[in-house]
Chains A and B, each alone.
Chain A
Amino acid sequence: MTLLSVRDLIKDFGGLRSIDNLDLSIDEGELVGLVGPNGAGKTTLFNIITGFLRPTSGTVLWEGKEITNLRPDSIAKRGIVRTFQQTNLFSDLTVIDNTMAGFHIKTEEALPMLLLQAIFHIGGFRKKELNIRSQAMEILDFLGLSNKSDVTANNLPHVDQKKSELAVALAAKPKLLLLDEPAAGMHPDEVKKLTDIIKNIQEQGITILLVEHNMRFVMSTVDRMIVLNHGSKIAMGTPTEIRNNEDVIKIYLGSGGINA
């Protein structure tokens, strides 16, 4: 079943065409890698899918329904959750508090109830909070962060910050998880662990689309790859196919190569 479908997408920034008539689709349960040189339009695509940018034209369909110009929070509520290229956390909160923040989508009450809760502290939200806290700890366990749950986010080393971002995204119980350079700045050992974690997330039934520059990581993790250049799709296929694709080799020649 096709979960996400992008059709005839165009994004212009003034005179610069960042996304050029792009079509792509992601089926349920897939683990897809989106690659391409810098400036290929990968993060722009993420921003359009998640509502942070409006496309110049084209449509984004989610579960068959159009989500093209919706706000980011509406899109998140429909089950599409993303991480960001630059580390994006609540820097003054602890890891566990950050993770608990991710549960907002699923636990948000209607406004009148929220106001009553705020004034009278009713609605059993304390109990719900304990529940959320234990669920958050499970996620942190899964990611190997449970011994750092009370560390403030901006005191964490880079790799743990990246993992915390992942924890927050998982807390939002996504159907589709968009990961923007999850392996950036990671040590090769950590990258290997990340592959296992992401495959495990896929096994839990979450569809994943990730953007990465680390080719070895992408090729050993994903089922299918899409290669972008100058805003359009130049190749699509399994990692093996992509590795041998001439067009792809051409655009990467001199930039570190595919066999890095």
Chain B
Amino acid sequence: MRFSENTQFVILVCVLVATPFLFQGSYLWHVLTLLCIFAILSYSLNISYGYAGQVSFGWCMFWGIGAYASALLALRFGWSFWLAAPIACCIASIAALFTGFIIFRATGLYFALLHMCFALVAYEVSLNWVSLTSGPMGLRGIPIPSLDLPILSEIYFRPGGLSFYYLALAGLLLVIFFTQRLVASPLGRAISSIRENPELASSLGVNIFKYNLTAFCIGAFFAGLGGVFYSYYFRAIDPQIMRMHYVMAAFVMVIIGGKGTLYGPLLGTAFYVLLPEFLRMAGTVRYLVFGIMLILCVIFLPGGIWPVIVRKYRQLK
């Protein structure tokens, strides 16, 4: 059976919607929600790194900005989740616009280092601009999203509950959907051409700077969304969210899962989030395992695990 892209997506939706009912207890829901939040981060990096080929070593700054922006809008201005979330994503995108405007003048290693520098600056700002971000103490008491429906009573999306999982899942499915749309559109093709062969793309009229910046900002928007969900789930954030740890996590998930593919990031996130849970790995062991997996993938499976699965499936037919 050849699954069309739409069928694949519907199957995915059904599976992810039904999964919480497989096992008893809310621990699974917690893990699944984390899966969704980190998958959004992976998908966002997939746009910048997987499709546009940008080595965005400072990627965590956009997720951190999304988290802080939504938290501040909720705590300082009392905005609801439904308003704070999209605005926070836009703020992350705008940060990407300013950052990218500067760093895309460089390429390759220099681009990566510059981006990392910007991320370190973002971290320092969140640590030291105490009047804005409460410094190392961070922000806490982020409210619970709620929805006031006319007929039904108010729904609260409590972190750890099934409703929050479905909220995060909706966010993830939206991101996957838009990734699919983007890739199939003329914009997506122009962006991929830059990754494939920038010299040729340029000679065919593709404005490398413009399209790089566009992909960067789109990715940052989704990274911001991941940050928003993170801040609403844990209801407290601190400058640690801006640390390189999350960049490395994102790269591990995207590379192992399959960069530049539609379901690779989800697979990679599943590995990253679920494997330690199922194997009951302690913190340091987890890093060792993922470090080794990453090295093995880069050497033997540069396209990640997802393309291998697709190939095996086709061979079996």
Given the complex, which residues of A lie within 8 Å of B204, measured CB to CB? 73, 76, 81, 101-102, 104-105, 168, 172
- Min CB distance B44 to A, Å, is 15
Q: Is the C-beta of A114 less than 8 angstroms from some C-beta in chain B?
A: yes
Q: Is the interface of B mostly helix, strand, loop or mixed?
A: helix
Asked if residues B178 and A119 are in contact (CB atoms below 8 Å), the reply is yes
Chain B residues 175 to 210 lying within 8 A of chain A, measured CB to CB, are 178, 181-182, 184-190, 193, 196-197, 199-208, 210
Asked if residues A107 and B186 are in contact (CB atoms below 8 Å), the reply is yes
Interface residues on chain B, number (Cβ under 8 Å): 25
Tell me the nearest residue of chain A to B178, going by C-beta: A119
Q: Is the C-beta of A92 less than 8 angstroms from some C-beta in chain B?
A: yes
The 8 Å CB contact of A72, one of B184, B185, B203, is B203
Asked if residues A118 and B185 are in contact (CB atoms below 8 Å), the reply is yes
Contact segment of A82-90, A225-233, A244-252? A82-90
Given the complex, which residues of A lie within 8 Å of B184, measured CB to CB? 121
Contact bitstring A138-179, B, C-beta under 8 A = 1, else 0 = 000000000000000000000000000000100010000000
- Min CB distance A90 to B, Å, is 5
Tell me the nearest residue of chain B to A171, going by C-beta: B204
- Min CB distance B46 to A, Å, is 15
Given the complex, which residues of B lie within 8 Å of A101, measured CB to CB? 189, 193, 201, 204
Asked if residues B189 and A77 are in contact (CB atoms below 8 Å), the reply is no
Distance between Cα atoms of A206 and B205 in the complex (Å): 18
The 8 Å CB contact of A111, one of B185, B201, B203, B210, is B210
Contact bitstring A50-93, B, C-beta under 8 A = 1, else 0 = 10100000000000000000011110110001101000111111
Given known contacts A109-B186, A117-B187, A81 and B203 CB-to-CB distance under 8 angstroms: yes
Asked if residues A105 and B181 are in contact (CB atoms below 8 Å), the reply is no
Given known contacts A89-B200, A90-B200, A121-B181, A105 and B186 CB-to-CB distance under 8 angstroms: no
Given the complex, which residues of A lie within 8 Å of B33, measured CB to CB? none
- Min CB distance B309 to A, Å, is 19
Asked if residues A104 and B190 are in contact (CB atoms below 8 Å), the reply is yes
Asked if residues B186 and A119 are in contact (CB atoms below 8 Å), the reply is no
- Min CB distance B302 to A, Å, is 13
Given known contacts A89-B197, A101-B193, A108 and B205 CB-to-CB distance under 8 angstroms: yes
The 8 Å CB contact of A90, one of B197, B205, B214, is B197
Chain B residues 193 to 241 lying within 8 A of chain A, measured CB to CB, are 193, 196-197, 199-208, 210, 214
Given the complex, which residues of A lie within 8 Å of B206, measured CB to CB? 73, 104
Contact bitstring B160-182, A, C-beta under 8 A = 1, else 0 = 00000000000000000010011
Q: Is the C-beta of A24 less than 8 angstroms from some C-beta in chain B?
A: no
With contacts defined as CB atoms under 8 Å apart, how many contacts are there between chain A and chain B in the complex? 90
Distance between Cα atoms of A168 and B193 in the complex (Å): 13
Distance between Cα atoms of A74 and B205 in the complex (Å): 6
Distance between Cα atoms of A172 and B197 in the complex (Å): 16
Given the complex, which residues of B lie within 8 Å of A88, measured CB to CB? 197, 199-200, 203
Contact bitstring A205-222, B, C-beta under 8 A = 1, else 0 = 000000000000000000
Asked if residues A125 and B205 are in contact (CB atoms below 8 Å), the reply is no
Q: Is the C-beta of A234 less than 8 angstroms from some C-beta in chain B?
A: no
Distance between Cα atoms of A168 and B204 in the complex (Å): 9
With most chain B CB atoms within 10 A of its CB, the pick from A52, A72, A76, A108 is A72
Distance between Cα atoms of A84 and B197 in the complex (Å): 13
Asked if residues B200 and A76 are in contact (CB atoms below 8 Å), the reply is no
Given known contacts A73-B207, A101-B204, A121-B181, A84 and B188 CB-to-CB distance under 8 angstroms: no
Distance between Cα atoms of A111 and B182 in the complex (Å): 13
Given the complex, which residues of A lie within 8 Å of B186, measured CB to CB? 104, 107-109, 114, 117, 125
Distance between Cα atoms of A121 and B187 in the complex (Å): 11
Given the complex, which residues of A lie within 8 Å of B199, measured CB to CB? 52, 84, 88
Distance between Cα atoms of A91 and B200 in the complex (Å): 11
Given the complex, which residues of A lie within 8 Å of B193, measured CB to CB? 90, 101, 104
- Min CB distance A95 to B, Å, is 14
Distance between Cα atoms of A54 and B188 in the complex (Å): 30
Distance between Cα atoms of A52 and B187 in the complex (Å): 24
Tell me the nearest residue of chain A to B188, going by C-beta: A118
Distance between Cα atoms of A188 and B290 in the complex (Å): 55
Asked if residues A117 and B185 are in contact (CB atoms below 8 Å), the reply is yes
Given known contacts A117-B186, A118-B185, A118-B187, A104 and B205 CB-to-CB distance under 8 angstroms: yes
Beyond contacts A102-B204, A104-B193, A118-B182: 5 other A-B pairs, Cβ-Cβ < 8 A, are A76-B202, A84-B199, A101-B189, A117-B186, A119-B178
Residues of B within 8 A of A (CB): 178, 181-182, 184-190, 193, 196-197, 199-208, 210, 214
A/B interface sample: 18 pairs, CB < 8 A: A71-B207, A73-B205, A73-B207, A76-B202, A84-B200, A84-B203, A88-B197, A89-B200, A91-B196, A102-B204, A104-B193, A104-B204, A105-B205, A107-B186, A118-B181, A118-B188, A125-B185, A168-B204
Residues of A within 8 A of B (CB): 50, 52, 71-74, 76-77, 81-82, 84, 88-93, 101-102, 104-105, 107-109, 111, 114-115, 117-121, 125, 168, 172
For the complex of A and B, list the 6 residue pairs with the smallest distance between their C-beta atoms, beginning with the closest: A105-B205, A118-B185, A114-B187, A72-B202, A76-B205, A118-B187
